[in-house]
Amino acid sequence: MQCPLDSKPRWERRKDARPQELLAAAIDLFVERGFAATRLEDVARRAGVSKGTLYLYYTNKEELFKAVVRGSIVPFIGEAEESVAEFEGHSADLLRQVILSWWDRIGQSKVSGIGKLMTAEAGNFPELAKFYQEEVVVRVIRMISTILERGVDRNEFRAVNVQQVTRVLMAPMMMLVTWKHSAVGPCASDDLQPQAFLDAFLDMALGGLLPPAGARQ
Amino acid sequence: MQCPLDSKPRWERRKDARPQELLAAAIDLFVERGFAATRLEDVARRAGVSKGTLYLYYTNKEELFKAVVRGSIVPFIGEAEESVAEFEGHSADLLRQVILSWWDRIGQSKVSGIGKLMTAEAGNFPELAKFYQEEVVVRVIRMISTILERGVDRNEFRAVNVQQVTRVLMAPMMMLVTWKHSAVGPCASDDLQPQAFLDAFLDMALGGLLPPAGARQ
Amino acid sequence: MQCPLDSKPRWERRKDARPQELLAAAIDLFVERGFAATRLEDVARRAGVSKGTLYLYYTNKEELFKAVVRGSIVPFIGEAEESVAEFEGHSADLLRQVILSWWDRIGQSKVSGIGKLMTAEAGNFPELAKFYQEEVVVRVIRMISTILERGVDRNEFRAVNVQQVTRVLMAPMMMLVTWKHSAVGPCASDDLQPQAFLDAFLDMALGGLLPPAGARQ
Amino acid sequence: MQCPLDSKPRWERRKDARPQELLAAAIDLFVERGFAATRLEDVARRAGVSKGTLYLYYTNKEELFKAVVRGSIVPFIGEAEESVAEFEGHSADLLRQVILSWWDRIGQSKVSGIGKLMTAEAGNFPELAKFYQEEVVVRVIRMISTILERGVDRNEFRAVNVQQVTRVLMAPMMMLVTWKHSAVGPCASDDLQPQAFLDAFLDMALGGLLPPAGARQ
DNA sequence: AATGAATGAGGGTTCATTCAT
DNA sequence: TATGAATGAACCCTCATTCAT
């Protein structure tokens, strides 16, 4: 950890770990079964605690879900926003870096199932939808738009319609993780080749964004 | 009675209409809330009947759902398969026709919400997943693959990897309807411009399929 | 029937047969499943009529059941009572005749299942219990007691305790039919040999009733 | 608390007692109303808990019923089997002892109503029938047959047909408890004199089993 | 902090009975 | 007379949430 002399007794460290264990269990089950179909008793059991204990840390199911999002997707977004703000190179590299690190940190992991889940169940849990839209979707859109605008401003990208291209860029990523987590769909699980998909997607996307060859400096 | 030409009593006409009324109510609610979250009592109420009446027409919730699929998506697939078998022109026109008629008949309507629903809940309802995969997904894949193979055989398309391109073609369509029915996502509902999206998609798809200009006859 | 020139058209004869067809269907199902577990819809279907039609003939489930009893067991009791009243021979012969004709008409047929059914479900249907007790049980007890008293009066039987012996005589008969209709019990269905059982029972019963050999005239 | 020797808190003592309280309530109602007609809510209420609580202890209605059987009849059978295996005296005494202890532990109590219930409802609940046949009926038959064989082997009983006599011995016992629990039947409840019935039955049974006086040692 | 027993509202399904035709 | 569509109360079972310990 940060403190190499961890002065706390093992028992207390265990206690501190509880929320993390609960979040880990929760994300597994939420992604596997969806929000509504996940039973808090199962979450508690998987975390090795009792059902009542769960309520000591999270007031209810929705708060638990929010905590899952806050503990997984939101921090990534924060870091990505920072790296966008600090980046100094070519906007195409920035875009590629953001997408690949998204795939590395989110897309590949269970966390990406949260996106599919929200798409499916937002209608039944308006407060959750609002939370997710504000904490995740809006920030992602803003971040990608920012990259595009940066690229356009710096003449590294063509003068595209930023709003639409933002959506065009997000769509295939969403699709990729949706299929990855679904039991039906055009891709039997072993047919899905995410890496090849990503490569093709990036080629296409950057090909569409970079200025015509003749126009480059 | 009031209309002497209609020999059926009003009451019996209702009976004939009931299944359709129930299916209409069911599709509304299934698409709005998902399979698990839809209460049969609500379906019944929306159709203007009592809970018990629903069971006169459909054995249980899963059968009601299957009936919805059989009454909306499956017939379209059948017709599309026929039109593919009978078609005599250029494969690009066939592909365009199938996709546009899909948009017309399925994509635009509530029915398209079924796809999103199945993607989300298949894991929790394995029998439904099996049904949908067999009755819909497999047939759609086969149909699109058939079109691609036809195009390749007739030298109207390039010699693409049919299996993968089938998936690449399906993905944006799925995405389009998924966002259309979701309360969260990168597209606020009024930002989504399906027609423009479709045009762009078809341009891209056909651009990728047609042989290089020099090779065309 | 009584009128050899049956002037009624076949269609109307059919109508007259309805109640009998319903009773036949009802007894099948009541005996097979019990009173509560029998669905009137099944009764109607087996009789080849609609559920509503059943209610034209019997006001409700309990009345249907009573009609079954009235149409099967009660007439037999009436005849048995008559034959008891008219009989002129030895009381042992009378008892044997009554028991054997019971076996012939009731015990062997489905009707005997009614006895088991009432024993089991009387507690849940007090009105039915009252009806059955009055229309069947009390009359059977009275009839057998009458035979015993007749035998004792005529010095054909020993001076037994009529009340208790009545029960002792009824018990094995009830048992026989109960097992005949049950899916559990000490007798796998093919082990039960009713005829042998009856012979043994009659030997025992009459052996216990007839006066000691030395006392006979 | 009030009793310092009892280290468990009152609340936990309740938890330990719950299963027994629920079984007690269940047996009352099952015997009173039968399996199908017993509502779990009533069982719960009679045990002083809510409907949901019942499911903390028993997975479903059938399991509750099995628990009732396992907690009442099955243990008795186990003990009886042991006492049969260990017994060293005359087989007639063994038979008498087994029957009288059955009457003491089962016949006299509500538990005996289970037998009547199963006879009546086995047809509608095949899994329950299988369970009861295996756990109870088969073992009882085996036990009684064992006693009879023992008696025959030791020349304490005549060489009877063991299979049939087993059934003949069981029949009156079944009948006794069936009437005891029934609202209809030849015995108004206050006329039934079980003790006298048992005495007569044992006299008869042993009379039929013991070798003729002249043959005894 | 931790437990886990208890709750009770709610959803799927069944079926006797009614009633317009 | 005959139909069968419609009803609605009832029952089994689930699960988020509470709370005494």
DSSP D163-209: HHHHHHHHHHHHHHHHHHT-SSSSS-GGG--HHHHHHHHHHHHHHHH
Among residues B42, B112, B122, which one has the least CA distance to residue B72?
A: B112
Identify whether residues D187 and D95 lie together within a single domain: yes
The residues, ordered by sequence, that sit 6+ positions from B16 with a Cβ below 8 Å of its Cβ are B8
C166 CB neighbours in chain D (<8 A) are 186
Q: Is residue C35 part of a domain?
A: yes
The residues, ordered by sequence, that sit 6+ positions from B116 with a Cβ below 8 Å of its Cβ are A119, A120, B31, B177, B178, B181, B182
Residue C2 reports pLDDT greater than 80: no
How big is the C-D interface in CB pairs under 8 Å?
110
C36 CB neighbours in chain D (<8 A) are 34, 36-37
Nucleotides of chain F in contact with protein CB (under 7 A) are 1-21
Identify whether residues A109 and A82 lie together within a single domain: yes
Least reliable range by pLDDT among A88-102, C69-83, D200-214: D200-214
Q: Give pTM, 2 decimals.
A: 0.88
**DSSP letter, residue B181:** T
Residue C78 reports pLDDT greater than 70: yes
Going B95 to B74 to B164 to B175, the CA torsion angle's sign is positive
pLDDT on residue D206: 84
Structure tokens at C95: 């008892």
pLDDT on residue D6: 44
| Percent of the residues in chain C that have a pLDDT greater than 70, as a whole number | 88
Identify whether residues D29 and D121 lie together within a single domain: no
Q: Is residue D201 part of a domain?
A: yes
Among A120, A126, A132, select the one facing B116 at the smallest CB separation: A120
> Which residue's entry shows tokens 């998924």?
B178
Identify whether residues A95 and A198 lie together within a single domain: yes
CATH number at residue B101: 1.10.357.10
Q: Is residue A16 part of a domain?
A: yes
Q: What average pLDDT does the structure give for chain C?
A: 87
What is the C-alpha separation between A128 and A115, in angstroms, rounded?
A: 12
pLDDT on residue A14: 59
Subunits with 3+ C-beta pairs closer than 8 A to C: D
Judged by phi (left if over 0) then psi (alpha if -120 to 50, else beta), residue B48 lies in left
The residues, ordered by sequence, that sit 6+ positions from C52 with a Cβ below 8 Å of its Cβ are none
pLDDT band at C197 (very low <50, low <70, confident <90, very high): confident
Q: Is residue C5 part of a domain?
A: no
Helix residue spans in chain D (DSSP H): 10-33, 40-46, 51-57, 61-86, 91-102, 113-121, 126-132, 138-153, 162-180, 194-209
Chain D meets chain C (3+ C-beta pairs below 8 A)? yes
pLDDT on residue B215: 64
Identify whether residues B63 and B77 lie together within a single domain: no
pLDDT on residue D96: 93
Q: Is residue C14 part of a domain?
A: yes
Burial class (CB in 10 A: 0-12, 13-18, 19+), C41: exposed
Cβ contact, residue pair A122, B183, below 8 Å: yes
SS3 of B63-98: the string is HHHHHHHHHHHHHHHHHHHHHHHHCCCCHHHHHHHH
Among residues B59, B49, B56, B52, which one has the least CA distance to residue B24?
A: B49
Residue closest to sugar C1' of F20 by CA = D11
- Taking residues D74-94, report their average pLDDT: 96
What is the C-alpha separation between B123 and B120, in angstroms, rounded?
A: 7
| Mutation site for A-interface testing, chosen from B116, B184, B191, B197 by largest number of A Cβ within 10 Å | B184
- Per-block mean pLDDT, blocks of 10 residues, chain B (217 long): 43 69 95 95 95 95 97 96 96 94 93 93 94 95 95 93 82 85 74 76 80 68
pLDDT on residue B190: 60
Identify whether residues A90 and A195 lie together within a single domain: yes
Identify whether residues C27 and C127 lie together within a single domain: no
The residues, ordered by sequence, that sit 6+ positions from C10 with a Cβ below 8 Å of its Cβ are none
The answer to whether residues A111 and A72 touch, using CB atoms and an 8 Å cutoff, is yes
What is the C-alpha separation between C92 and C148, in angstroms, rounded?
A: 9
Subunits with 3+ C-beta pairs closer than 8 A to B: A
How close B209 comes to chain A (CA, Å)?
A: 15
CATH number at residue C15: 1.10.10.60
Cβ contact, residue pair C186, D170, below 8 Å: yes
Cβ contact, residue pair D137, C171, below 8 Å: no
Q: Is residue C4 part of a domain?
A: no
B117 CB neighbours in chain A (<8 A) are 120
Cβ of A15 < 7 Å from strand E?
yes
Q: Is residue D3 part of a domain?
A: no
pLDDT on residue D176: 85
The answer to whether residues C18 and C26 touch, using CB atoms and an 8 Å cutoff, is no
H-helix or E-strand spanning residue B36 = none
A129 CB neighbours in chain B (<8 A) are 183-184
pLDDT on residue B207: 78
Give D15-37 pLDDT, tens digit per residue.
678 889 999 999 999 999 999 99
Number of domains within chain B = 2
What is the C-alpha separation between B185 and B178, in angstroms, rounded?
A: 9
Q: Read off the amino acid at residue D120.
A: A
The residues, ordered by sequence, that sit 6+ positions from D109 with a Cβ below 8 Å of its Cβ are D72
Give A143-176 pLDDT, tens digit per residue.
999 999 999 999 999 888 888 788 778 878 888 8
**DSSP letter, residue D107:** I
Cβ contact, residue pair D122, C171, below 8 Å: no
- Taking residues D118-124, report their average pLDDT: 91
What is the C-alpha separation between B136 and A184, in angstroms, rounded?
A: 10
CA of C103 to C1' of E9 (A): 55
- Which three-class secondary structure state does DSSP give residue B48? coil
CA of B35 to C1' of F10 (A): 25
Identify whether residues C107 and C140 lie together within a single domain: yes
Residue in chain A lying closest to B115 (CA): A185
Structure tokens at D149: 């064989």
Residue A12 reports pLDDT greater than 70: no
- Which three-class secondary structure state does DSSP give residue D3? coil
Radius of gyration of chain B (CA): 20
Identify whether residues A107 and A34 lie together within a single domain: no
Give A70-126 pLDDT, tens digit per residue.
999 999 999 999 999 999 999 999 999 999 999 999 999 999 999 999 998 999 999
The answer to whether residues B31 and B117 touch, using CB atoms and an 8 Å cutoff, is yes
Q: What average pLDDT does the structure give for chain D?
A: 87
Name the more confident of C16 and A134.
A134
pLDDT on residue D192: 67
pLDDT on residue D4: 42
Cβ contact, residue pair C36, D36, below 8 Å: yes
Burial class (CB in 10 A: 0-12, 13-18, 19+), B115: buried
Angle of the B61-86 helix axis to the B10-33 helix axis, nearest 10: 90
What is the C-alpha separation between B79 and D209, in angstroms, rounded?
A: 81
Decide which of A45, A69, A93 is a domain's last residue: A69
Decide which of A34, A53, A69 is a domain's last residue: A69
Q: Is residue A4 part of a domain?
A: no
The answer to whether residues C129 and D184 touch, using CB atoms and an 8 Å cutoff, is yes
Residue D48 reports pLDDT greater than 80: yes
What is the C-alpha separation between B26 and B20, in angstroms, rounded?
A: 10
Tell me the HSE value of C28 on the side-chain side, using a 13 A CA sphere: 13
Dihedrals phi, psi of C90, to nearest 5 degrees:
-75, 140
What is the C-alpha separation between A133 and D148, in angstroms, rounded?
A: 80
Identify whether residues B98 and B137 lie together within a single domain: yes
Chain D window 60-119: residues with CB closer than 7 Å to nucleic chain E are none
Identify whether residues A47 and A81 lie together within a single domain: no
Distance spanning both ends of chain B, measured CA to CA: 66
Decide which of C69, C91, C112 is a domain's last residue: C69
Residue closest to sugar C1' of E9 by CA = D52
Residue closest to sugar C1' of F17 by CA = A60
Residue A42 reports pLDDT greater than 80: yes
> Which residue's entry shows tokens 């269940």?
D26
pLDDT band at C8 (very low <50, low <70, confident <90, very high): low
Identify whether residues B203 and B101 lie together within a single domain: yes
Give C24-55 pLDDT, tens digit per residue.
999 999 999 999 999 999 999 999 999 999 99
Among C116, C119, C124, select the one facing D37 at the smallest CB separation: C124
Give D158-174 pLDDT, tens digit per residue.
998 888 788 778 878 88
Structure tokens at C168: 């002792």
Residue D9 reports pLDDT greater than 60: no
Residue in chain B lying closest to A120 (CA): B120
What is the C-alpha separation between B97 and B104, in angstroms, rounded?
A: 10
Cβ contact, residue pair B191, A163, below 8 Å: yes
pLDDT on residue D2: 43
Residue D188 reports pLDDT greater than 90: no
Q: Write the DSSP string, C197-209.
A: HHHHHHHHHHHHH
Cβ atoms < 10 Å from Cβ of C141: 19
pLDDT on residue B3: 45
- Taking residues C109-119, report their average pLDDT: 93
Chain D residues bordering chain C (beta-carbon distance below 8 Å) = 32-34, 36-37, 116-124, 126, 129, 132-133, 137, 140-141, 163, 166-167, 170-172, 174-175, 178-179, 182-187, 191, 196, 200
The residues, ordered by sequence, that sit 6+ positions from B200 with a Cβ below 8 Å of its Cβ are none
**DSSP letter, residue D47:** T
* Owning domain of residue B188: 73-215
